[in-house]
Structure 1
Amino acid sequence: MGYEWFVSLRYLRAKRKQTFISVISFISIAGVTLGVASLIVVLAVMTGFHDGVRQQILGNVPHVLVQRQGGNIPSYQELVTELRQTTPEILEVTPYVAKEAMLLAKRNVAAVNVKGLPRGHKVFQQNFLSASGDEVEKALFTTQEGPPGLVIGLDTAATLGVTVGDTVNVIPPMFTITPFGLIPKMKPFRVVGIVSHRGGFLDTYFAYIPLPVAQNFFDAADQASGVEIEVASYDRATPLAAQLRDRFSFPLVVRSWEDLFGSFLSALKLEKLGLFIVLAIIVLVAAFNIATTLIMVVMEKHKDIAILRSMGATSLSIMKIFVLEGLIIGSLGTGLGTLLGVLLAKQADPIIKGLEGILKIKIFDQTVYGMDRFPSVVIPEDVVKVVLVAMTICLLATVYPAYRASRMDPGEALRYE
C-alpha cells in the first residue's frame, strides 16, 4: 500500500485540537468490540442450549425408529438381522416393547409409557439413583424371587411418593376375562432405579423394564413394538431413514429423530438466526460511528487531502487512505470483540455461577433445563461468520467518506487557505 498505510495510521493519532475525533474513534472500536463479543456469546449459548436439548432427546429417542403400522412387528428377529446387514453406518439395532400404562403406589397414580428394553441399551448409560450404589442395569436384569425390576423418572417417583426398593403396581390397558367379568391386568414391580440426570419430560414420561418381562406381561411373545437404530452420527439419521424407506415398504414405517422432534429443534435454530440478526444491528450502529469518524476526519483534513492531490496522489490513493483507516478501526474492534467473546463463551458457566454467588440470586436453574451446567459451545464456523459480517459492515461504512475524500477538488479546498 505504500504511504497510504502511514497516512491512515497518522490520522488515527489525534493532535491536541483533534481529541474529539480520537474519542469517537475509540467509541467506534468499543462499539464494534461489544457487538462482536455479544454475537459470539449469544451464538455459543444458543448452540449450547440446542445441543443440550438434542442430547436430552437423543438420550431416550433412537436415531432411527422402525415400527409397524397398526400393531407389533411379528418375528422381529429377522428384521433385526436384516437391518444389521444393511450398512456399516448402523451401530446398534435394538428391539423394544412399549405400552401406555398407569402406575399405582401408595394411593397415587402416574401415567407413563412402559418400555421393555434389552441389556446394553443407551438409556442405561445415564445416571440413576439406585440402592447402595448398585448398577441399575444389573439390578434390573437380575433373575431373583419377587417382583421384576422397574426404572422410573424422578418426577414420576415424586408423584407416586416412592423411592428405590418400593413396589409399584403397573396397570396396562389390558383386561383378563374371569367368571366375574373383565378385570384390569395388573402386576407389581420393584423400583430398582430412578433417572436423576437428564430431567425433562422424556424421563418423566418413560418407565423401563426388561424386554422379556415386557413381552410376557403385554402378551407380545416373539413380537416387538418397534426396532431402534443407532448410527455413528445423528446427522446421518435422516439420510439413513430415507434409504430404509426405499427398502422397507408398508406396513413398516421408518422415522428419524428429526421426524419426531425436528420441528422443536428447528424452532431453536430459527431463534438463533433471529438473535444473530438482531445483535448484528449493534455492529451496524458501531459502523455508523466509523462512518461519522471518517466524515469528520475528511472535513478536518481537507487541506491535507488537497496538498496530497497537488503532490500527485491519485483519487484511488486518497480513497485507500480512508478505507484503510476505517478497516483499522473495524479490525481492532473485531479482533478485541472476538477475543472477548470467545473468552466469555468459554467461561460462561463459571461466570454465571460466580454472579449467582455474588448477587445471591438464581440466574440459571439447572432443574428447569435439565442441564448440570450453563450451556455454551463455541463453534469455529460461527466465529468466522461473525468476523466476516463485522468486517463487511465496517468496510461498507468506509465507502461513502472515502469516496467523498477522493472526489475533493484540491483547488477549491485551498482557495481560502
Structure 2
Amino acid sequence: MKRAGADISDAKNGAPAFGKFERKIAGRYLGARKSEGGVGLISVLSFLCIFLAIFAMITIMSIMNGFRAKMIELTIGLDGHMYVGSASANPTQLQVIGLRDRIAVLDGVENAFIFTQTQTFVQAQSRTGPALVTGISAEDLLDIDLIRDNIVAGSLDGFGTGHNGGDKIVIGAYLANNLGLTAGDRLTIYSPVLRATPFGSRPVFKSYEVAAVFASGLISADSLNIYMPVIQASLFFNQGRSPTDIQLRLDDADMIHKMKAPIRGAAGEPVFIETWENKNQSTATALKTEQVAMRFIFMIVVLIAVFPILSAMIMLVKNKSKDIAILKTIGATSGSILRIFLMSGATIGILGTLAGVFVGLLLCLNIAAVQGGLESVVSLVSGKPFSIFPPEVYGIDHLPAKVVASEVFWVAFWGFLVSALATFFPALTASKTDPVEALRYE
C-alpha cells in the first residue's frame, strides 16, 4: 500500500508521461480476469484478430507482388525493360556504341545491347509461321542467361562468325517444334521489304542454318523469337543501315521510372526512352489497378480487425469506472488516466501487428519449403504426385513471393495507427470520467 501511495504521489508531482505508475496500472488492467472487471478473453481475441489481419496482408501482398513480377516476366519475355535511342537524325555507329557503353555501367542496369528487331514470317519445308527476328551481337547474346543457360540443341559457338556475321541463327524451342526443325537444319526467313525488279516487286528471302535451339520457359518467347547476328540483320532487313536502338534489361522491372533520369544524365545528349509499360499498356494498367485495389481492400480488413480492440476498451472503461474515480480522487490527472488506457489498448495492437509482420515474413521467405512440405504431405496421403501449381497449366511450378520492404513498413504503420485510433476514444472517455458521478451509487 505504501508503494501504491508513492506511485500516486509520483503521478501527482509531475512524473514523466508513460511512467512506472501508469505502466503498472495499464498492465494490471490488460491482464485482469473477468471477475476483476477485466477483459482478458476479449483482449486475446483482439490480439488474434489484428495478428491474423496483418499476417494475411503481409503474406497475400507479397504473393501478389511475386505473381506481378512473374506476369511482367511472361509479358516481356526476352524483350527489354527499357529502350533507348539517340534523338539525332542520323547517329553514327560510334555514337550509338558510346551511348550504349555509358548507359551499361549505370547501377540497376543488368545489360544493354544494340539491336534491331523485325516481325516477319519464316518457312521450313512446307511449314510457315510468324517470327520476331532480333539482330544481336554474339557477345550480347551470351549475356542473356535465359538463352545461354537453356540451350536444348546445338551450340552458340558458331553464332556471329563468318562473312557479315555468318548465316547461323538461334531459335526458340516451340518455334523449332512447330516447324519441325533442330540444330543443323535450314530455315528460310522472308523480309517484309519487297525488292523492286523490272518485273515488279518481289519478296526477299534467305536460307539460314539453325545453330542452336533454346527453351527459356517463356512460351511467348520460345514460340516466336529468332536471334540473328546484328550485322546480318542490318543487311537483310534494314538494307545495310546500322541499328540505332539500345535495349536494356534492369535488375528490377519496377525501376523503369527511377532509371529515366540517370539514363538521360549518362547519355549526355537528347534521347528517346520507351518502357515495357508503353509497349504493354493494357497489361501494365491492369496490374497497377489490381495492386491498388488489393491494398485498399486489405486496409479495410485491418480496419475491421481492430473493432474487437475498440469493444474491449469500451468494456474495460465501463468496468473500471469506479477505479478511475478512485484514482482521480487520490490525485491521478486526466492525462494520466488517458495514457493508462491508451497503453492498455495500444499494447494489444502493437503486439498483434509485430507478431503478424514476423510470422508473415517468416512464411514469405520460406514459402518454397512450405509449398514443398504441403505437396509432399498430400502426395503421401493420396498416393500419387501432387503439385499446387502444375507448370503445364499455370506456366509456373512454384508459389512466387516478393517481399517489398516499403510495403512491410506501411502495413506495420497502418496496424499501429488504426490500433491507436481504436484505443484513443475510449481512453479519452475514461479521462473525462467525473469521480463524483462514478462513485455516487457505489
> What band does the TM-score fall into relative to the shorter chain?
0.7 to 0.9
Which of 412, 415, 434 is the aligned partner of 1:387? Answer: 412
State the partner residue of 2:351. Answer: 332
State the partner residue of 1:226. Answer: 245
Which of 88, 94, 113 is the aligned partner of 2:113? Answer: 94
Shift of 1:131: 2.7
Of residues 378-387 and 202-211 in structure 1, the stretch that sits farther from structure 2 once superposed is 202-211
Shift of 1:167: 2.7
For 1:303 and 1:40, the matched residues in 2 are separated by 41
Cα-to-partner distance string for 1:211-257 (whole Å, 9 max, x where unaligned): 12223323522422634356788545322565699934xxx854344
Shift of 1:317: 1.3
Which of 406, 410, 415 is the aligned partner of 2:431? Answer: 406
Shift of 1:401: 1.0
State the partner residue of 1:276. Answer: 295
For 2:214 and 2:37, the matched residues in 1 are separated by 63
- Aligned length in residues: 406
For 1:375 and 1:232, the matched residues in 2 are separated by 17
Residue identity matched to 2:403: V
State the partner residue of 1:154. Answer: 173
For 1:55 and 1:255, the matched residues in 2 are separated by 17
For 1:230 and 1:383, the matched residues in 2 are separated by 27
- Over 3 Å counting, the alpha-carbon distance change for 1:245 and 1:260 in structure 2 is farther
For 2:429 and 2:249, the matched residues in 1 are separated by 62
Cα-to-partner distance string for 1:381-415 (whole Å, 9 max, x where unaligned): 22111111100000000112111211222222222
Asked if 2 retains the 8 angstrom alpha-carbon contact of 1:50 and 1:265, the reply is: no
Of residues 37-46 and 82-91 in structure 1, the stretch that sits farther from structure 2 once superposed is 82-91
Asked if 1 retains the 8 angstrom alpha-carbon contact of 2:135 and 2:232, the reply is: yes
Residue identity matched to 2:66: G
State the partner residue of 1:317. Answer: 336
Which of 57, 62, 66 is the aligned partner of 1:39? Answer: 57
For 1:401 and 1:102, the matched residues in 2 are separated by 72
For 1:370 and 1:65, the matched residues in 2 are separated by 30
Residue identity matched to 1:32: I
State the partner residue of 1:130. Answer: 152
For 1:177 and 1:267, the matched residues in 2 are separated by 45
For 1:125 and 1:332, the matched residues in 2 are separated by 45
Gaps of 5+ in 2: 1-18, 380-385
Residue identity matched to 2:417: T
- Over 3 Å counting, the alpha-carbon distance change for 1:83 and 1:367 in structure 2 is farther
Asked if 1 retains the 8 angstrom alpha-carbon contact of 2:153 and 2:182, the reply is: no
- Over 3 Å counting, the alpha-carbon distance change for 1:396 and 1:62 in structure 2 is closer
Of residues 82-91 and 353-362 in structure 1, the stretch that sits farther from structure 2 once superposed is 82-91
Cα-to-partner distance string for 1:317-368 (whole Å, 9 max, x where unaligned): 1111111011110111011101111011111223234334444654334456
State the partner residue of 2:93. Answer: 77
State the partner residue of 1:299. Answer: 318
- Over 3 Å counting, the alpha-carbon distance change for 1:81 and 1:282 in structure 2 is closer
State the partner residue of 2:4. Answer: none
Residue identity matched to 1:206: N
Q: How do residues 193-212 of structure 1 correspond to structure 2 at under 5 angstroms? A: 193-212=212-231
Shift of 1:95: 2.9
Shift of 1:153: 2.5
Asked if 2 retains the 8 angstrom alpha-carbon contact of 1:97 and 1:214, the reply is: yes
State the partner residue of 1:378. Answer: 403
1:305 partner SS: helix
For 1:160 and 1:68, the matched residues in 2 are separated by 39
Which of 15, 39, 56 is the aligned partner of 1:21? Answer: 39
For 2:30 and 2:432, the matched residues in 1 are separated by 21
Residue identity matched to 1:44: S
TM-score (norm 2): 0.79
Asked if 2 retains the 8 angstrom alpha-carbon contact of 1:241 and 1:256, the reply is: no
- Over 3 Å counting, the alpha-carbon distance change for 1:62 and 1:304 in structure 2 is closer
For 2:300 and 2:390, the matched residues in 1 are separated by 30
- Over 3 Å counting, the alpha-carbon distance change for 1:179 and 1:335 in structure 2 is same
Asked if 1 retains the 8 angstrom alpha-carbon contact of 2:152 and 2:215, the reply is: no
For 1:199 and 1:84, the matched residues in 2 are separated by 27
Asked if 2 retains the 8 angstrom alpha-carbon contact of 1:75 and 1:222, the reply is: no
Asked if 1 retains the 8 angstrom alpha-carbon contact of 2:29 and 2:38, the reply is: no
- Over 3 Å counting, the alpha-carbon distance change for 1:323 and 1:219 in structure 2 is closer
- Over 3 Å counting, the alpha-carbon distance change for 1:321 and 1:219 in structure 2 is closer
- Over 3 Å counting, the alpha-carbon distance change for 1:82 and 1:312 in structure 2 is same
Shift of 1:188: 2.2
Identity of aligned residues (%): 28
Q: How do residues 350-361 of structure 1 correspond to structure 2 at under 5 angstroms? A: 350-359=369-378
Of residues 232-241 and 57-66 in structure 1, the stretch that sits farther from structure 2 once superposed is 232-241
Shift of 1:262: 6.4
State the partner residue of 2:364. Answer: 345
State the partner residue of 2:137. Answer: 118
Q: Does 1:49 align with 2:67?
A: yes
For 1:179 and 1:220, the matched residues in 2 are separated by 19
